[in-house]
Chain A
Amino acid sequence: MKTIPEAALNVMGRTAYIDDLPEPRNLLHSAVKLSGSARGRMTRIDAARALALHPSVRVITWKDIPGENQLGFTVADEPLLPEREWEYWGQPLVLCLAETKGLARRAAELVVVEGDALAPTFDPREAAAKGDFILPPRTQRSGDPAAAFARAAYVVSGRADSGGQEHVYLETQGAIAEPRDGDRIFIISGTQGPAVVQRAAARVLGLPMNKVEVETRRLGGGFGGKEDQATTWGCLAALGARLSGRPVKLCLDRKTDMRATGKRHPYSSDWKIAADAEGRLLAFEADYYQNSGCSCDLSAAIISRTLFHAVGAYRIPNVRVTGFLCRTNLPSFTAFRGFGAPQGIFVMEAALDALARRMGIDPVELRRRNLLEEGDITHYGMPMTRVRARESFDSLLEKTRWRELRAEVDSFNASHALEKRGLAVVPNCFGVSFTKLQMNQGGALVHVYQDGSVLVSTGAIEMGQQVSRKIARVTACTLGIPIERVAIERTTTLTVANTVPTAASTGSDINGMAALAACEEIRGRLVRRAAELVGGPAAGLSIEDGRVVRGREDTGLSWDDLVLKTYESRVDLSAHGFYATPGLFYDMEAEKGSPFAYHVYGAALVEVRLDVLRGLYAVERALIVHDVGRSLDRAVDLGQIEGAFAQGLGWALLEELAFGADGRLLSDTLSTYKLPDAHFLPARLEVEMMRETDNPRAVLNSKAIGEPPLVYGIAGYFALLDALRSARPDGPGMYDLPLTPEKALDYLTGDRPEYGREKAAKGDTPC
């Protein structure tokens, strides 16, 4: 086993995250004052007591912003610091600078912001009823749903809700900004998109982008939470630095991070599904009320991914799905691994579950009957190729010996009254590419140094998905050298410009391809030089494992010599590579096109055990069959599958955002917001990567891995529902994710209060 320097630094505790960096000499610390109610019109900001605290205290408000007070690029609804109204509980209102972190925090507490209360909205359906949308609703359709419903043997409809999800990247948000050389600003930002921070900071400071440099080292986790929402902190630090002329650090404590930043969007949806007498799906309709929070952020791109994934891995000829971006007075919900797809897929799986019950058939059988096939055309008009839905589903059923397992669990349940086991299988079909077309581009800068070592810079941010390791592999493969010769440089806006955020699972696809392009360019130059050195035509020469070879024969020329000789002949050993995902198009008017480069397939089985008396449960087992194309790195892919599944399972069964009736986040600590720990994950978690097949649409035939496996967590929901139904066969459908112990017990006792209401009314009793 070769050690990877990066990971080695991690385990030795030597990786420096933002708060670990040596602090520049005259550094100022900072803290934000958060709003203390959900909505209000600002009347007065009184900084007197804060300023009296210590001479180093400085209080910065929107009035101090030299440029444009606006972070929103899709919709201009996101001021850095609000000017007139605050729009959610926990919104940063004012920035305080001081000599120490403690002083800055106390100063922030002392600032008084007064205002008149305005009536807030928290429920997306209520916002929809008022027509309060961030952007107009979007609808995708195919076939003739109305006619299909009219002639169907079975029609079922209902409602499904899914809750938000806190990212809990272990490293909280943060940034350090430093004034440099007169009017330049240098920002170290914990962001997935340095170019986004650069553009926003330039706008806020009233500077051209060439005066703002943003650097990102590795992140202690991102998961989408630092795609757009790291920008605020980078910009605030930059603003503080600009105004004070000193370096400014802004690192959030966990509670401020949880209160102030956005999370996965909660959805409330209505669905209707129809099948013929044989259980073939005929039609599906859904209205998704996305709780977008107080501003647009990435909500528009997220709703489009929901719509694209509305029917999951199934073939349905008649579809009408509509997404509403509902404005509420909650933090602006944002990207989170899966980006709206899991929310859409949950609705589809809920509909199928209800339909199977109505038809009295095994939901697994119903799912199996309706899987996508090669050549099917999706409701948004994309012809599906290299489809592996059935292959993955069947292989999962075979591995789990589905029939026997089902029978065994049924007989266990028949003989156990106080304990029940539950099973569910969920397929996966996940589209890869940014749903916003223009974002599917990336750049890379590759240097080969005279000693033969290679340095690669791309837009890809390392945040635990180990994209660096993949890009190093692509580079090594393309240049024909051992991976130890390759180093990946941190991302800065100086080396690669106009990068897109590392997101949408496309980090290694796009950046890997750009690196590949640069490497191919350099390799071409090297091979031409090699031909001069060893004689004969360049064609047929290649570099393998650090040697120049012709066919299988070693030419006697090593990589190191070749590099040096190429350098001596005054040939450029650097190249910039660029990649724009080909073949993507989408007609927004018609809502038709091919927005994805390819799809990722798979299926998962989850088994749970329910304690009928207490309403508590444990996930006992999971088996995942997943399509990795030709994996660039199986260890990395395994980590991504397991990690995404854990997050999906947490979202489905455990993680619960709780807001008070007044819009205050109640689950604002890790003691009140629980995420999976080591005990929560099943001891029997098996991951099976599917037979490797080519994927010509991504780098070296690989497939994106970051987001798709999160979908498997949904199987956890339906497995528990299955167990609950064994305990209470007459129980209703219940599609209200996450399925927490409280909801489970309510199901078992037949009590279903309006979740959230009762709890909120009493507020938070500290325990």
Chain B
Amino acid sequence: MTKRMLRFVANDREVGTEAWEGSPALDFIRRELGLTGTKEGCREGDCGACAVILGERLENGAVRYRAAPSCLLALGELDGRHLVTIEGLASGAEDGLTPVMLAFLAENASQCGFCSPGFIVSLTAWLLEGERLDEAGALTAVEGNLCRCTGYGSIRRAASRLLAEFPGLPADPLARIDALVAARVVPASLAAFARGKLLADDARVRPAAGETSLVIGGGTDFYVRNTDPEPRDGFFLAGSDPALRRMTRSGDGGLEVGAAVTIRDFFACPELLSLVPGIGRFEASFASILVRNRATLGGNIANASPVADMTSMLIALGARLGIARPGGDGPSREIPLESFFLGYKKLDLGPGEIIRTILIPPPCRPFRFNFEKAAKRASLDIAAVNTAVLLELDGNRVVRGRLSAGGVAATPLLLPKSSAFLAGRAVSAGTARDLAALAASEVETIGDVRGSAGYRRRVLERLVMAHFTTLFRDRVADGIAEDLAVRVSSSEEDRR
């Protein structure tokens, strides 16, 4: 096996290792670095006990710190970056207790304590880089952390304390870091790393991708399925190619998104928000902030889960994939996203090929877009069913529509009949109802632990109606409400 020296800063010291870059960072942190404050609670991104903060100097010279679940983090991701663990945070405070830790103590927010380091890391990251410094922002910050003891009341109160203690933190990342170093929320090593004083000589360029046998985006799917991957050659971290992390306006006014763009960055992109107004509100329905910080668009698509949320949205938006070899050299091709899926987890992707870009076309006329998802838990839960719709409108009439659905077949789908049906229809409760029935008849649902086959069909029907009540509430809500009431009693009659 070819070995590569990874160099990074672990808390306040530089570390070098030749360990395989595909092994999970959590194991390295706990076993090799001996930093056991980072806990393993699930090893699949669901509990946040393993959260760490990862700092990087971006292409444009800015610095950015974000929380990540280290159980789903490739060791290679640490290369050239700054890893901050709970021990690192403690080391910055005089008696080992940072203001976040003290807030936890004051509110008795640590009971068995197993989750506490993870929560503290998440809340510290929130102070470091959170856009919303309010109660809702705090809740978002810890949505990827589970606590089985407290019921979260004391944790919320600890967050409120922090809000009171740190009003008006600077928006500029570097100024924010300095303010938090001064307040001993984070250690001085962050300011040093940000200014290039730690790992200063790290001018190494990553080796160009050679023969690729394994592509990893954020790893949030890969490590769930491979908890202990065997070392192998040809490991390629998509994010190590800066081109794959860019989002640019394409010539036709659409958007070209690099496959390694994270879900978090995608939703934060101003061009996207102006291209598809309102899309930002669907960010919260995707996983947790910990996962969104890592998961990539390309990974969401290539993982080919039937319930992939981003894929469902992108299909409705008419996205196309740019497929090529990892380095971008050699031939490349473009295909509609929906035709990328050939069967359950079967892709139109040749050996050595990867998704390089996702192209979102500009809409031709005024349009509305909506996304719906049904899951057991409102946040951080994989959908039983999801669906997205794009309606190009001429006044009250749909000119062209695209309806996608996930969780109702072996792959994410564009529903062709339903989409065709939309052309020329008026926006009305009747259209919503007919479309919903058509969509439900167009799919062949199967049952699993997230929902029975029957439920999936029924909920798809309801979610399709919800597209209309959400987008055109005034025009359709009454009609749909009436319709629901009638249906319930008629099905009761059937039973008698």
Given A639-B108, A675-B148, the answer on whether A613 and B462 have CB atoms closer than 8 Å is yes
Do A616 and B374 have beta carbons less than 8 Å apart?
A: yes
Residues of B within 8 A of A635 (CB): 108
**A676-707: which residues lie under 8 A (CB-CB) from chain B?**
676-681, 683, 685, 687
B489 close to A666 (CB less than 8 A): no
Option from A417, A615, A676 in Cβ contact (under 8 Å) with B478? A417
Q: Is B149 an interface residue (CB 8 A)?
A: yes
Contact at A679–B376, with CB atoms within 8 Å? no
Asked whether B449 lies within 8 Å of A730 as measured between CB atoms, the reply is no
* The stretch of A53-61, A361-369, A422-430, A643-651 that contacts the partner chain: A643-651
Q: Point out the residue from A464, A685, A730 that lies within 8 Å of B113, measured CB to CB.
A: A464
Partner of B488, one of A1, A19, A169, A728: A728
Instruction: Tell me, in angstroms, the Cα distance from A741 to B377 when the chains sit together.
Output: 9
**Is A677 within 8 A of B477, CB to CB?**
no
Once the chains bind, are A639 and B462 in contact (CB under 8 Å)? no
Q: Are B446 and A762 in contact (CB under 8 A)?
A: yes
Min CB gap B338→A, angstroms: 18
Q: Which residues of A contact B225 (CB under 8 A)?
A: 766
What residues of B have a CB within 8 angstroms of the CB of A407 in the complex? none
Given A613-B484, A685-B153, do A742 and B495 touch, yes or no (CB 8 Å)? no
Tell which of A494-502, A519-527, A746-754 binds the partner: A746-754
Q: Is the CB of B148 within 8 A of A647?
A: yes
Chain B positions within 8 Å of A672 at CB level: 449-450
List residues of chain B with CB within 8 A of the CB of A1: 105-106
**In the bound complex, what is the Cα–Cα distance between A167 and B490 (angstroms)?**
41
Count of chain B residues with Cβ under 8 Å from any Cβ of A? 102
- Residues in chain A near residue B237, CB distance under 8 A: none
Which chain A residues border B378 with CB–CB below 8 Å?
616, 618, 679-680
Provided the pairs A667-B449, A751-B458, A759-B449 are in contact, do residues A417 and B481 lie with their beta carbons within 8 angstroms?
yes
Chain A, residues 463-492, CB within 8 Å of chain B (1/0): the string is: 111100000000000000000000000000
How far is it, in angstroms, between the C-alpha of A417 and the C-alpha of B381 when the chains are bound?
27
Nearest-CB distance from A257 to chain B (Å)?
10
- Complex CA–CA separation, A230 to B351 (angstroms): 47
Distance to closest chain B CB from A709 (angstroms): 9
Are the CB atoms of A642 and B151 closer together than 8 Å?
Answer: yes
Within 8 A of B (CB), among A716-767: 728, 730-731, 740-742, 745-746, 748-751, 753, 755, 758-767
Binary A-proximity of B422-457 (CB < 8 A = 1, otherwise 0): 000000000000000000000000111111111100
A219 to B39, CA, bound (A): 13
Chain B residue nearest to A633 (CB atoms) is B108
* A8-B112 Cα distance, complex, nearest whole Å: 12
Contact residue among A418, A613, A638, A750 (Cβ-Cβ distance under 8 Å from B492)? A750
List the A side residues contacting B448 at CB < 8 Å.
666, 759, 762-765, 767
Complex interface: chain A residues within 8 A of B101 (CB) = 8, 11-12
Chain B 374-389 interface mask (CB, 8 Å, partner A; 1/0): 1111111110100000
Contact call A3/B105, Cβ cutoff below 8 A = yes
Nearest chain B CB to A414 CB, angstrom units:
13
Which B residues between 109 and 158 are near A, CB-CB below 8 angstroms?
A: 110-117, 120, 139, 142-143, 145-156
Bound complex: CA A667 to CA B494 (Å): 34
Task: Indicate if B224 sits at the interface (CB-CB under 8 A).
Answer: yes
Are A745 and B150 neighbours in the complex by a CB distance under 8 Å?
no
Query: Could you say which of B42, B43, B112, B374 contacts A218, with CB atoms under 8 Å apart?
Result: B112
Most buried by B among A7, A667, A761: A7
Binds A, one of B13-21, B85-93, B210-218: B85-93
Least CB distance, B101 to chain A, in whole angstroms: 4
Q: Looking at chain A, what size class is its interface with the partner chain? A: 35 or more
Contact B112 A463 (CB under 8 A): yes
Chain A, range 490-518, C-beta contacts under 8 Å to B: none
- Given A170-B114, A220-B112, A614-B466, A669:B46 Cβ within 8 A: yes
Interface residues of A in 140-177 (CB under 8 A from B): 167-172
Docked-complex contact B108 and A677, CB < 8 angstroms: no
Whether B111 lies near A170 (C-beta < 8 A) is: no
Which of B37, B41, B43, B115 is within 8 Å of A12, CB to CB?
Answer: B37
Contact assessment for B484 and A466 in the assembled complex, using a CB-CB cutoff below 8 Å: no
Judged by a CB distance under 8 angstroms, whether A280 is at the interface is no
| Nearest-Cβ distance from residue B288 to partner chain A, whole angstroms | 8
A533 within 8 A of B: no
Report Cα–Cα, A537/B59, bound state, in Å. 82
Q: B491 on the interface (CB 8 Å rule)?
A: yes
**Cα-based distance from A14 to B89 in the complex (angstroms):** 12
Partner of B154, one of A6, A638, A767: A638
Q: In angstroms, how far is the closest chain B Cβ from the Cβ of A108? A: 13
Q: Which chain B residues lie closer than 8 Å to A678 at the CB level? A: 139, 142-143, 145, 147, 152, 155-156
Q: With contacts A170-B39, A677-B143, A679-B139 known, is A765 near B306, CB below 8 A?
A: yes
Give the shortest distance, in Å, between A608 (CB) and chain B (any CB): 12
Tell me, yes or no, whether B485 is within 8 Å of chain A by CB. yes
Q: Judge if A233 is at the interface, Cβ distance under 8 Å.
A: no
Closest to A169 in B: B148
Known contacts: A11-B104, A670-B47. The answer to whether A221 contacts B112 by CB under 8 A is yes
How many whole Å from B110's CB to the nearest CB in chain A? 4
Contact of A654 among B146, B377, B384 (CB under 8 A): B377
Kindly provide the distance from the CB of A637 to the nearest chain B CB, expressed in whole angstroms.
Answer: 10
Known: A417-B481, A616-B378, A765-B448. A749 touches B488 (CB 8 A): yes
Q: State the Cβ distance, A733 to closest chain B Cβ, in Å.
A: 14
Q: Across the interface, which residues of B come within 8 angstroms of A765, CB to CB? A: 306, 344, 446, 448
User: Within the assembled complex, what's the spacing in Å between the Cα atoms of A616 and B39?
Assistant: 33
How distant is B311 from chain A, measured CB to nearest CB, in Å?
A: 12
- A550 close to chain B: CB less than 8 A: no
Q: Residue among A9, A680, A753, A767 with the most chain B CB within 10 A?
A: A767
B465 touches A (CB below 8 Å): yes
Complex interface: chain B residues within 8 A of A9 (CB): 113
B96 at interface, CB cutoff 8 A = yes
Interchain CA distance A746-B145 in the complex, whole Å: 31
Q: Does A254 contact B (CB under 8 A)?
A: yes
Closest beta carbon of chain A to B305's beta carbon, Å: 5
Instruction: Say yes or no for B49: interface residue by CB 8 A criterion.
Output: yes
Q: Does A17 contact B (CB under 8 A)?
A: yes
- B317-336 interface bits toward A, Cβ cutoff 8 Å, 1 = contact, 0 = none: 00000000000000000000
Q: Mark B95-109, 1 if CB is under 8 A from A, else 0.
A: 011000110111010
Q: For A614, what are the chain B residues with a Cβ–Cβ distance below 8 Å?
A: 372, 374, 459, 462-463, 466
Q: Mark A580-620, 1 if CB is under 8 A from B, else 0.
A: 00000000000000000000000000000000111110100
Q: How far is the CB of A244 from chain B (nearest CB, A)?
A: 22
Q: Are A11 and B152 in contact (CB under 8 A)?
A: no
In the complex the two chains form, is B114's CB within 8 Å of A767's CB? no
CB distance from B112 to the nearest CB of A (A): 3
Q: Which residues of chain A are within 8 angstroms of B36 by Cβ–Cβ distance?
A: 13, 16, 19-20
A729 to B441, CA, bound (A): 29
Tell me, yes or no, whether A4 is within 8 Å of chain B by CB. yes
Give residues 8-42 of A contacting B (CB, 8 Å): 8-17, 19-20
Q: Do A170 and B146 have beta carbons less than 8 Å apart?
A: yes
Q: A106 vs B147: C-alpha distance in the bound complex, in angstroms? A: 31
Within 8 A of A (CB), among B330-359: 344
Q: Does B228 contact A (CB under 8 A)?
A: yes
Inter-chain CA distance A727–B266, complex, in Å, is 38
A6 to B104, CA, bound (A): 13
For the complex with contacts A171-B41, A760-B447, 17 further pairs of A-B residues with Cβ separation under 8 Å are A8-B101, A9-B113, A11-B117, A12-B101, A218-B112, A219-B112, A221-B112, A612-B484, A614-B372, A614-B462, A643-B149, A666-B448, A676-B152, A678-B142, A681-B151, A749-B458, A767-B450
16 A/B residue pairs, CB under 8 Å, sorted by A: A11-B117, A170-B39, A170-B112, A218-B113, A612-B484, A613-B480, A616-B378, A636-B108, A642-B154, A674-B376, A675-B146, A675-B148, A678-B145, A680-B378, A681-B152, A758-B447
Which 10 A-B residue pairs are closest in the complex by CB-CB distance?
Answer: A13-B37, A464-B112, A10-B113, A220-B114, A417-B481, A646-B151, A13-B86, A750-B491, A642-B151, A670-B46
